[in-house]
Amino acid sequence: MTDDCIFCKIIEGSIPAVTVYEDDKVIAFMDIMPINPGHVLAVPKAHFRELNEMDEETGAHLFRVGMRIDRALRRSGLRVEGTNLLQNNGRAAFQEVPHVHLHIIPRYEGDGMKVRFGQEKAAPEQLREWAGLIKSKMER
Ligand code: 5GP
Ligand code: ZN
């Protein structure tokens, strides 16, 4: 628990949230400003600001819960033609609440949500250079 963290306050119950799932490690509740109807946040109960602070077991469980919510959304009757499981990691990556969370966002054709992916192919030697930098730091 971190004093001024809004998600820690939801987890301890001092501010309300509309919960869809809870176990000893993860809670999932409705996003208060949904991108589309049914937008859920899955949140580890322990306070980690960013992914690199969190243990892999908790991360794996967080994603498992995200998959379960995806399946529930598809059966819910809400308009769900697809979903984005989105994890904004760091301020530069749109993270506003500094407590790790996984968005499960229902999507449908024409919903207006925009994410801009790359538009130009990178040169193969450039890709190999970037891959080399990453591979050399991968943990086994
Ligand atoms: P981020 O940009 O950090 O990935 O997303 C934070 C999300 O938390 C936003 O979609 C925002 O609507 C949601 N959020 C912020 N404050 C609250 C709150 O007090 N309750 C709930 N349920 N969601 C919140
Ligand atoms: Zn927190």
User: Nearest-CA neighbor of 74 among 123, 40, 101, 122?
Assistant: 40
Cα–Cα distance for residue pair 46/72, rounded to 1 Å: 24
Is 101 annotated in the active site?
yes
**Which helix (H) or strand (E) element contains residue 103?**
strand 102-107
Give the residue whose CA is nearest to atom 18 of ligand 1: 32
Which of 14, 20, 33 most suits a substitution to test ligand 1, by most atoms within 8 Å of the C-beta? Answer: 33
The pLDDT-based confidence of 3 (bands split at 50, 70, 90) is confident
Q: What pLDDT sits at residue 140?
A: 85
Give the residue whose CA is nearest to atom 17 of ligand 1: 32
In this predicted model, what pLDDT tens digit does every residue of 127-138 receive, in sequence order? 999 999 999 999
Of the two residues 1 and 99, the one the predictor is more confident about is 99
Ligand nearest to the CA of 96: 1
CATH of domain 6-135: 3.30.428.10
Average pLDDT over all residues of the chain? 97
In this predicted model, what pLDDT tens digit does every residue of 118-127 receive, in sequence order? 999 999 999 9
- Counting DSSP H helices and E strands in the chain, the numbers are 3, 5
Q: What pLDDT sits at residue 109?
A: 97
In this predicted model, what pLDDT tens digit does every residue of 59-74 receive, in sequence order? 999 999 999 999 999 9
The pLDDT-based confidence of 1 (bands split at 50, 70, 90) is low
- Mean of pLDDT values over 82-104: 98
What's the order of all strands across the beta sheet hosting 102-107?
19-22, 26-30, 40-44, 102-107, 82-86
In this predicted model, what pLDDT tens digit does every residue of 44-53 receive, in sequence order? 999 999 999 9
